[in-house]
A and B are shown apart, each in its own frame.
Chain A
Amino acid sequence: MSSIPASSFLLLAIILFCIGLYGALTKRNTVVVLISIELMLNAANINLVTFSKYGLTPNLTGHIFSLFVMAVAAAEAAVALAILIALYRNKPTILIDEMDDLKH
């Protein structure tokens, strides 16, 4: 299994991170933006797990860190959707560019 170089894992993480970042910056639908953010967090997790096998001193800390990230991601998603539901109750839209009550 060691035949796969570390950089291919890291490259995959970069590609996923960029897809997520692009989605988060261009999509109009709030739910899609949230999914894109989850993809970015996943990319960071791939890095963490990769580095805990490949590294100067491989250790399990990367696994622990990625588990913490998952907990945080779930909490963030739950709060974001709760805010979305509260928003939808007052103003039935979930499109980001129609959220323009606040002056610019």
Chain B
Amino acid sequence: MDLQTLLSFHWDTMMPEFIILISATVLSLIDLFIGRSFSRKFFGWASFIAVVAALVSLISLSDHGVTTILNNSYVFDSFSIVFKAILLIGTALVILMAISDKFENIEEVKSEYFYLLMTGLLGAMFMSSSGDLITLFIGLELLSISSYILVAIRKENSKSNEAAMKYIINGSIASAILLFGLSYIYGLTGSTDLAAVQQIVSTLSGTELSGLLGLSFLFIIVGFTFKIAAAPFHMWAPDVYQGASTPVAAFLSVVSKSAGFIIIIRVLLNIYAGAYSPDGQLPLLINMQNYIFTISAITIILGNAVALMQTNIKRMFAYSSVAHAGYILVPLAAVSPLLFENIWFYLLAYTVTNIGAFAVIQYVVSDENNENIEAFRGLYKRKRSMAIALLFFLISLAGIPGTVGFIAKLQIIASALANNPINITIVVIMILGTLVSYFYYFRVIAEMFFKGDRLELQPPKNEIPFNLIVVIGVCVAATIVLGLMPNLALDNFYKLFS
């Protein structure tokens, strides 16, 4: 391959990635060369602008058409555009949150914070637009290693160290298992290009080798359930969320989880949907559906049940995010035809509401120096705007009509039932899980609105920082507007996929 061929590819479709990459590199160089006494306050805003610029360039590329570079190692299609948009929106909001992060009155703003968030985002973006196992794996590891460092970045805090240690050990075991599964895929097909893999896999039906394909499926699904924090590999999530600073916890629960679902859709649908089971009848994915079904059910039940018992707000949100991973697995378990749409919209809804909730948590926790639910006592009387914003986020997470969370859940349930009435079991589990989740979400609401004596309550010590006002404002607006008019987002989605 000569330079001519190399340059003939549409490298311009990689513009969003280039923007992120260049700004992360430039920021790290600036960090290296300016003196220690220099304020690094502008890093946050600079990286925010970079992520927004990447989002703008992604939108401007949206009518570019499908492009592949170098045997599918980079694929630019509608799937990657819509999911990258979620990743970029999520990271932009997280970066805004991180600008004013304080814990126990120590300024947590570290310059490394911002470019590590951006490299993590870069890994996630490559995961969402790659059709090659090697690039997928490297993207996943780039995201994971950036997240390990982000969790450990409060290095004077022994809780944070401990969380990071647990995270990296569990994460490395999961990626080793995943890699073992991927090596069988390569072995059975002789290729790492997903398109080629798909073709060869469909010819394996009926041979003895399809058993090995099933084994690789199990290894791979273990690796992925870890990434999205689904049961039984969710145990790291509460510890890590508690030990990490709040913006990092938000990053893990939103961006990292979305990236996990993106890679699941890419790999499972590309490889196993075309593979047929040993008896040569049904696609392997349909056969293996029971596993995903079980994982999804256990995740919903466990996540919601354990969340009930938590007193630490971040641990409670960790278990709630485990439960949400279970809900998002339902379309996969039901193999509904509207799978992309359902998962995408749910992730979008989850991104705006969860980041908003974490922004409020960040403010309250750093103001009170207390991570327990009691920190929210009487918030309505102390800081009315915050209490009302959190109310919207919580009822959206709980899935009450009028919010975006309701629409997202409704879509999943409706399309699962429309596809096949057998799915009623998983739908019932999902609805029961949602009902259980009301208890712990409403516990926070009750704490905010009905508890706390007016005389005992202290007014908040700090004003709400400007950046948090922006984050919360955007998230509240999105929660309500998308809840009333979901077509604003869905129309754009359909336009890309038509």
Contact = CB atoms under 8 A, between A and B. Distances in A.
B158 A90 contact: yes
Interface in A59-92: 59, 61-62, 64-65, 68-69, 72, 75-76, 79-80, 82-84, 86-87, 89-91
A56 B134 contact: no
Contact of B186 (A30, A51, A76, A79): A51
Interface stretch (B175-183, B280-288, B437-445): B175-183
A90 B166 CA distance: 16
Contacts of B183: 44-45, 47-48, 51, 65
Among B148, B164, B179, the one with the most A-chain Cβ atoms within 10 Å of its Cβ is B179
Contact of A30 (B165, B188, B312): B165
Contacts of A103: 242, 312, 315
Interface string B270-295: 00000000000000000000000000
B158 A65 contact: no
B180 A17 contact: yes
A24 B186 CA distance: 25
A44 B165 contact: no
Contacts of B370: none
Contacts of A33: 169
B161 interface: yes
A4 interface: no
Interface stretch (B38-46, B149-157, B259-267, B409-417): B149-157
Contacts of B191: 57, 59, 61
B141 A57 contact: no
Nearest to B140: A72
Contact of B168 (A21, A50, A64, A79): A79
B186 A62 contact: yes
B373 interface: no
B192 A65 contact: yes
Nearest to A24: B173
Nearest to B183: A47
Contact of B180 (A47, A51, A76, A91): A47
Contact of A101 (B159, B180, B190): B159
B422 to A, nearest CB: 35
A65 B127 CA distance: 16
Among B186, B242, B312, the one with the most A-chain Cβ atoms within 10 Å of its Cβ is B186
B164 A83 contact: yes
B189 interface: yes
B315 A68 contact: no
Contacts of A24: 169, 173
Interface residues on B, range: 35 or more
A96 interface: yes
B31 interface: no
Contacts of B179: 41, 44, 69
B51 to A, nearest CB: 24
Given A102-B242, A103-B312, A76 B165 contact: no
A99 B162 contact: yes
A55 to B, nearest CB: 5
B172 interface: yes
Nearest to A64: B134
Nearest to A80: B168
Among B159, B176, B190, the one with the most A-chain Cβ atoms within 10 Å of its Cβ is B176
A37 B173 contact: yes
Interface string A29-55: 010011001001101110110110001
B187 A40 contact: no
A65 to B, nearest CB: 6
B186 to A, nearest CB: 6
Given A17-B180, A37-B172, A58-B190, A68 B242 contact: no
A17 B184 CA distance: 13
A33 B176 CA distance: 13
Nearest to A25: B173
Interface string A1-43: 0000000001000000100110011000010011001001101
Contacts of A76: 141, 145, 168, 172, 175
A47 to B, nearest CB: 4
A90 B164 CA distance: 13
Interface of A: 10, 17, 20-21, 24-25, 30, 33-34, 37, 40-41, 43-45, 47-48, 50-51, 55-59, 61-62, 64-65, 68-69, 72, 75-76, 79-80, 82-84, 86-87, 89-91, 96, 99, 101-103
Given A48-B186, A48-B187, 15 more contacts: A21-B173, A44-B182, A47-B187, A51-B183, A61-B191, A64-B134, A65-B183, A75-B145, A76-B141, A79-B145, A80-B169, A83-B161, A83-B165, A90-B157, A99-B162
21 contacts: A17-B180, A24-B169, A37-B173, A40-B180, A47-B184, A48-B186, A50-B187, A51-B187, A61-B191, A65-B186, A68-B137, A68-B138, A69-B137, A76-B145, A76-B175, A80-B172, A83-B164, A87-B165, A99-B162, A102-B242, A103-B312
Interface of B: 133-134, 137-138, 141, 145, 148-149, 152, 155-159, 161-166, 168-169, 172-173, 175-177, 179-180, 182-184, 186-192, 200, 238-239, 242-243, 312, 315
